[in-house]
């Protein structure tokens, strides 16, 4: 007789049984229940969200047993180790499980928050996996002393990537990293600022040369369209400034020219372009340069650029303020890549408003929103649970976490 999971894969169970399966209520062993839930969460559009919610609150003991067992199916292990589904209590077991692939650990390292980075650095198995160590070195959440620890674990010929924000040769940098804080850039004068912006621009062009070449001469196309971007009154249709037409002038005889010069009408200066008009004339490289060197208004337009390499350049701008990032994190008409990039910047993730806005943004990818939920305060969890714009999965988990935090506070 086919197992329950085989029947579910073959869509042979009635709807009421599928509901039981999505709630983890089938009378089957715990490992099979987990495998069924993962399958539904990943492949079933009707019961997938219910299965994801069930897995998020699944019994810790049986979840830990599955996470540490090398015989657990690869699909289950891949689900558990993915950034959006990862439960911190399962992480040590997953890191040491030889059936969790190196590629899955690399993906985790690339998007890991601080506590995950710390656990991975301490993992004996991770220290034997070169590609994972290299991905960890590039994390914005790693400390300088941890980079040194990884350097000892990697073969000597492998170059060590400095911890983002650190400058070992500068006074005070090592001390700041040892304290666990990123080294923030000091205030610079106008001339130094220009040099810094030029260096950032040159570095960005070099790093993204292939992406820029692939985009070619793609014009500015904002997410959501021009009217939604600025409103119908922002960009009125105007006529090009030209000198008014004049009546034909009779050309006098040469003798008359000597007596009286022909009057020349002064030229009319061209109208000044607004930010949108300025951007519309630029190619991809020009927009990247403006994203990195421009002003706040220009950045607010370019973050909506449908060309990914341009929109992401805004997040690298030296003059970008926390207030701007808070706004970007709540915007619905930006590329998904922009919302995914924001949490990778340590500076941005120190700002609670940025984290809260990402979770409450219906545009934020589900896996990213779920991964950030643990940082949300009870009051905001309650608000998010009633926000009809976000997905039902986010709302239900927010309500569940809100109740858990209330119960925990009541027991103190």
Domain count of the fold of the chain? 3
Range of the domain at 25: 4-100
Q: Which residues have a Cβ under 8 Å from the Cβ of 222 and sit 6 or more positions away?
A: 229, 301, 304, 305, 306, 333
**Summary mean pLDDT of the chain:** 80
Distance CA 180, CA 163 (A): 11
SS3 content of the chain, % helix, strand, coil (to 5): 60, 0, 40
Where is the domain boundary, 84, 100, 116?
100
Alpha helices in 112-246 (DSSP H): 114-122, 130-137, 144-153, 173-178, 190-207, 209-215, 226-230
> Is residue 146 included in any domain, yes or no?
no
Taking the C-alpha atoms of residue 136 and residue 181, their distance in angstroms, rounded to an integer, is: 17
Residue that terminates a domain, selected from 100, 123, 157 = 100
Task: Note whether 25 and 7 are within 8 A (CB).
Answer: no
Q: 3-state DSSP call for residue 29?
A: coil
Task: Give every CB contact of residue 213 below 8 A, 6+ residues apart in sequence.
Answer: none
Query: 10 lies in a domain?
Result: yes
**Comparing 317 with 234, which gets the higher pLDDT?**
317
- Separation of alpha carbons 330 and 352, rounded Å: 13
Residues 27 and 77 placed together within one structural domain of the fold: yes
pLDDT digits (tens, 9 = 90+) for 57-107: 898 999 999 999 999 999 999 999 988 788 889 999 999 999 999 988 988
Residue 263's pLDDT is what? 55
Does one domain contain both 286 and 354? no
pTM: 0.49
């Amino acid at each position: 007789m086919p197992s329950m999971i085989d029947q579910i894969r073959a869509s042979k169970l009635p709807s009421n049984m599928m509901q039981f399966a999505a709630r983890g209520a089938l009378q089957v062993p715990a490992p099979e229940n987990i495998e069924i839930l993962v399958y539904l969460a990943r492949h079933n559009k009707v019961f997938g969200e219910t299965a994801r919610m069930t897995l998020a609150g699944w019994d810790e003991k049986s979840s830990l047993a599955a996470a540490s067992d090398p015989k657990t199916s690869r699909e289950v292990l891949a689900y558990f180790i993915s950034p959006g589904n990862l439960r911190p209590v399962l992480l040590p077991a997953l890191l040491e499980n030889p059936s969790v692939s190196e590629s899955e650990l690399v993906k985790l390292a690339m998007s890991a928050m601080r506590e995950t980075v710390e656990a991975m650095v301490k993992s004996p198995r991770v220290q034997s996996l070169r590609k994972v160590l290299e991905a960890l070195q590039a994390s914005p959440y790693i400390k300088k002393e941890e980079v040194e620890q990884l350097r000892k674990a990697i073969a000597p010929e492998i170059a060590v990537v400095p911890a983002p924000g650190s400058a070992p040769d500068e006074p005070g940098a090592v001390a700041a990293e040892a304290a666990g804080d990123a080294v923030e850039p000091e205030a610079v004068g106008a001339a130094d600022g220009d040099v810094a912006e030029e260096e950032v621009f040159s570095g960005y062009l070099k790093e993204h040369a292939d992406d820029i070449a692939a985009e070619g001469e793609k014009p500015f196309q904002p997410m959501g369209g021009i009217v939604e971007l600025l409103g119908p009154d922002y960009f009125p249709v105007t006529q090009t400034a030209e000198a008014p037409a004049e009546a034909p002038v009779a050309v006098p005889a040469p003798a008359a020219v000597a007596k009286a010069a022909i009057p020349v009408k002064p030229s009319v200066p061209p109208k000044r372009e607004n930010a949108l008009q300025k951007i519309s004339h630029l190619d991809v490289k020009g927009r990247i340069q403006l994203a990195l060197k421009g002003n706040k208004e220009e950045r607010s337009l370019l973050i909506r650029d449908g060309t990914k390499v341009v929109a992401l350049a805004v997040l690298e701008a030296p003059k970008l303020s926390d207030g701007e990032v808070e706004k970007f994190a709540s915007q619905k008409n930006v590329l998904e890549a922009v919302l995914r990039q924001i949490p990778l910047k340590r500076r941005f993730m120190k700002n609670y408003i940025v984290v809260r806005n990402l979770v409450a943004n219906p545009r934020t990818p589900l896996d990213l929103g779920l991964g950030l939920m643990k940082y949300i305060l009870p009051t905001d969890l309650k608000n998010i649970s009633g926000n009809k714009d976000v997905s039902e999965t986010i709302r239900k988990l927010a309500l569940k976490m809100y109740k858990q935090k209330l119960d925990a506070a009541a027991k103190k």
